[in-house]
Structure 1
Amino acid sequence: MKRRNFIQNTLVSLPIVLAASKVNAKIRNKKGFKVEAGKDRFNQPIKYRGVNPNDVKISSKDTDGQLTVLEYVGFEKIGPPLHVHYEQDEIFYVVEGEYIFQLDTERMTLKSGDTIFLPRAVPHTWVQTSDKGKLVYFLQPSGQMEEFFKKMNELKGPPTEALIQEIHHAHGMKVVGPPISI
């Protein structure tokens, strides 16, 4: 393509691209909101493993899929298997309790007030080591994490390894190892 044609085509298409971004901005809810302590954004609480509240505080629906914020309250010394998110970065802030986080092969202890950044495509996991704990965590972009937690919450019993892999894969993740045992 000749330079002149390239520049001309770019200038012609620019208003269309800019208009599309303005349309999306108009669809997004511009009103803020409050989510009370111990509550889920849509009053549809999700329990991790049927016991531990994992409440959506800011939904992907609120941010056009750019951000999800959840609050996890742990009553068990458990955590997820070693896994990879293909498209999401995660940030965890420890509100209460103590946790061991594993990022690739490195393990770190986090206590109340500590924060950890887990970049996408890097294997990671965590385990709660205190009797009770609380995490606030951010996923950016949102991906399908809310749907993942809902799906896992719907299971009637312990899933098989094959089902765990299938559900993770369907939501943009892969299990690559076991959970941390303490």
Structure 2
Amino acid sequence: MKRKQFLLSSLLAIPAIALSKNKFQNNPDAGKEPFVVNAGQSRFGDTIKFLGVHHNDLKISSKDTNGQLSVFEYTGLAKVGPSLHMHLYQDEIFSVLEGEYRFVVGADTHYLKAGQTIFLPRNIPHTWIQLTDKGKLIYFLQPAGKMEEFFTLMNSLKERPSPEELEKFHTAHGMKLMGPSLSL
């Protein structure tokens, strides 16, 4: 348990260092109160699920950071992952807390286990798939962009969107859909 707490604390320090070196430090809203988000909960108490099953809990909102950062905790219960896509304006950082994952970033494939972190620069197509029955990721988007809104929209849908709708949703939220999800 101490290792997991150390990893999480270390990961949370990375964006804080990045934020401390930009205009955010001079923002009058920067003096907000600290907060704690408990395990298994989302920042504002809502439940967002990826593919209707897997918890994708918002831990730090773009509202907390003036759009500079969003942090999510993903708990996967099956061997799935997102479609191949590209973020036009955000870098992503994924850290594996539990399970094993295969990430495809551009032409490279990386296999990650608990304790490993991968940096995904903007404008490079990427996707991942969970390789174990259960997995957990913490991931950061910097700047935050519109990912919170994207996940809220996708979670609200009653049926699977058409390929044209999916393309439209990605575009509206600063992403480009590049291809299908990975399979085992």
Shorter-normalised TM range: 0.7 to 0.9
Instruction: Tell me the residue number matched to 2:180.
Output: 178
- Higher alpha-carbon Rg: 1
Q: How far 1:30 sits from its partner (Å)?
A: 2.2
Q: How far 1:105 sits from its partner (Å)?
A: 1.5
Unmatched segments (≥5 aa) in structure 1? 1-20
Q: Percent identity?
A: 55
CA contact (8 A) 1:99 1:127 kept: yes
| Alignment-mate amino acid for residue 170 of structure 1 | A
Instruction: Tell me the residue number matched to 2:134.
Output: 132
Instruction: Tell me the residue number matched to 2:84.
Output: 82
Q: CA RMSD in A?
A: 1.5
Q: CA deviation digits over 1:60-106, x for unaligned, max 9? A: 00000000000000011110111000000000000000100000021
Q: Distance in 1 between matches of 2:140 and 2:31?
A: 20
Q: How far 1:138 sits from its partner (Å)?
A: 0.3
| Alignment-mate amino acid for residue 79 of structure 1 | G
- Please, what TM-score do these two structures have when normalized by structure 1? 0.86
Structural mapping, 1:81-160, within 5 Å: 81-160=83-162
Matched positions, count: 162
Instruction: Tell me the residue number matched to 1:55.
Output: 57
Q: Distance in 2 between matches of 1:94 and 1:145?
A: 20
Write out the 4+ residue segments of structure 1 that deviate beyond 3 Å after TM superposition. Answer: none
Q: Distance in 2 between matches of 1:132 and 1:105?
A: 26
Instruction: Tell me the residue number matched to 1:4.
Output: none
**C-alpha distance 35-171 of structure 1, shift in aligned 2 (>3 A):** same
CA contact (8 A) 1:29 1:62 kept: no
Unmatched segments (≥5 aa) in structure 2? 1-22
